[in-house]
Chain A
Amino acid sequence: MTFFARFRLATFVLALLAIIVAAPVLAQKSGSDGAPNPTASVTSQRELLQQVPRITGRIDIPDTRASVLIQPAGRTWEYFHQVLLRWGGAIVIVGTVALLVIAYLILGRLPISAGRSGQKVVRFETFERFAHWLTAASFVILGLTGLNITFGKAVVLPLVGPDLFSDISQLAKYVHNFTSFAFVLGLVLILVIFLRDNLLEKVDIDWLKQGGGFIKNRHAPAGRFNLGEKMVFWLSIAAGIAVSASGFLLLFPFYGTNILGMQLAQVVHAVVAVLFIALILAHIYIGTVGMEGAFEAMGTGEVDLNWAKEHHDQWLAKKLAAEDRRGEPTATPAE
């Protein structure tokens, strides 16, 4: 007999023993149809709570939520909300800001190495920028009003007092609920518009090998979007779908779900939202103070020719070639 065969036999014997020992206890608790044995004189709350996570029964009112008699998981959810989420969320968000400050102190503002050429190329069309800013504006509103639910009572309430804080939070709740629709619209537009340019390519590996443009004197090649931007895109889409789906469950409470579903939806919504905020903080950093010439892309829609050469050489080459074929001006001089 091999070692594994012996091991299997021992496991089987143990399992058999467990069944034999447990059998009388089980027989006492329930009959063949799952009903408790008539000879058992007492239904015990303690045993019920050990068997099921929630004690439920029949009620005389239409509100199905009321059929849950006891759900001790409420205290577990309280622990998540008051301890894990508050500390975890604070550490992730404050930590991200701290890391970005350190990054700025070490790297500084990444300059356009060759300096500005004075020539502009169109990077984002008006509709593309509309989709971005619709999502961005609603994200900021949703982020701030959402953070208020978890951190407001620790940060804002001591400053403004309970009555004013309550009014602010009430307004914030409605703003959060209704802004969600604008965010989802923006998310769908972004997915449709930018999907094709965010598919992974071979050049992304080269970009990674060259240190993603963070190492001086090493050129990192990229198409319309580099690997870093693609990661922001895909993570944003994934997080956006997760917060939207869980958010709509919370917005329409108990529609097709129960108390456990609502608790889980809140957990998913909160955890993903905190990570999403950290991701977008990094995105905002690199798009504004972190890099010279980057903000213009989403600001005016036009970037400097040298910036495009340094960061998106393959995209620029294709764009210029296409415009050459059409006989359009390659780049417009700055006014």
Chain B
Amino acid sequence: MARMKFLCDADRCIDCNACVTACKNENDVPWGINRRRVVTINDGKPGERSVSMACMHCTDPPCAAVCPVNCIFPTEDGIVLHNKDQCIGCGYCFYACPFGAPQYPQVGNFGTRGKMDKCTYCAGGGGAEAPGSAAEFAKYGSDRFGQGKLPMCAEMCSTKSLLAGDGDIIAQIYGERVRKRGYGSGAWGWTTAYHKDVGV
């Protein structure tokens, strides 16, 4: 069974934000919600690196553990999905998430949170809606995964910095790159998300 993961090769990322745009367009994500973002470290200084980050679809997902209504769960492919019908908008998944992935639409004054929204690995939703249905798209976005396709962000990446797919395969691709070019800033978030780093 494939274990789906993301890997951002920061030494290739050019901060073009095409992954962010692709995600928004593919999933019709509303204003104010960013399922994927690009963070630039050491901006303008030597050693600057940009990293594209979304939900990493963790092993033992901390969001799922702390959820008071158990609405978040990993699928058999290791993709972390959630049921928006059950979400109460408490915000705990954001406190537990090491990657700032959960997003909440503002539904009232001050900090009133609506149903949590996050990267679904373009695999539809975790609710009762039929896979690939219009109802599912409206609530969660695209189900590319159900059609055998990978997430749009990684597919669109112009420098092939953002890799998606089976964890072992993308780790192998990244490992080969690092060996060939002689350097690599690491598989960002992997130790935190999957309890293991990429052996290079």
- Judge: A and B partners, yes or no: yes
- When distances are taken between beta carbons in the complex, the residues of chain B under 8 Å from A44 are 185-186
> Which residues on the B side are within 8 Å of A152 (C-beta)?
68-69
List, in ascending order, chain B residues with CB within 8 A of A40's CB.
46-47
Once the chains bind, are A61 and B192 in contact (CB under 8 Å)? Answer: no
A81 B92 Cβ-Cβ under 8 A = yes
Distance to closest chain A CB from B181 (angstroms): 10
**Residues of B contacting A41 in the complex (Cβ-Cβ under 8 angstroms):** 183
Proximity string of chain A (36-64) to chain B, C-beta cutoff 8 Å, 1 when within and 0 when not: 11101111111011000001111111010
With A and B bound together, what is the CA distance between A43 and B43 in angstroms?
12
Q: Report B-chain residues with C-beta under 8 Å of the C-beta of A59.
A: 37-40
A residues less than 8 Å from B113 (CB atoms) = 253
B185 contacts A165, CB within 8 Å? no
Interface size class of B (residues with CB under 8 A): 35 or more
| A165-B51 contact, Cβ under 8 Å, with A69-B41, A77-B95 | no
What residue of chain B has the Cβ atom nearest to residue A36's Cβ? Answer: B47
- Chain A nearest CB from B61 CB (Å) reads 9
Query: Given contacts A38-B46, A70-B99, are A78 and B65 in contact (CB under 8 A)?
Result: yes
- Give the residues in chain B near A74, CB-CB below 8 Å: 62, 95-98
**How many residues does chain A have at the interface if contact means C-beta atoms less than 8 Å apart?**
60
Asked if A255 CB lies within 8 Å of chain B CBs, one says yes
Q: Known contacts A70-B192, A266-B95: does B66 contact A78 (CB below 8 Å)? A: yes
In the assembled complex, the CB of A323 is this many whole angstroms from the nearest CB of chain B, namely 50
- In the complex, what's the smallest C-beta–C-beta distance from A262 to chain B, in angstroms? 6
Chain A CB within 8 A of B142 CB: no
Is A162 interfacial (CB 8 A cutoff)? yes
The answer to whether B86 and A163 have CB atoms under 8 Å apart is: yes
Which residues in window 131-155 of B have CB below 8 A to A? none
> Are B66 and A72 in touch, CB under 8 angstroms?
no
Assuming A36-B47, A45-B185, A63-B34, is B41 touching A55 (CB within 8 A)?
yes
B53 sits at the interface (CB 8 A): yes
Q: Are B96 and A61 in contact (CB under 8 A)?
A: no
Contact status A43-B70, CB under 8 Å: no
CB proximity of A129 to chain B, nearest CB, Å? 33
Cβ contact within 8 Å between A75 and B62:
yes
B66 → chain A closest CB, angstroms: 5
Contact B70 A252 (CB under 8 A): no
Residues of B whose CB lies within 8 Å of any CB of A are 10-11, 17, 32, 34, 37-43, 45-51, 53, 62, 65-71, 85-92, 94-100, 110-111, 113, 183-189, 191-192, 197
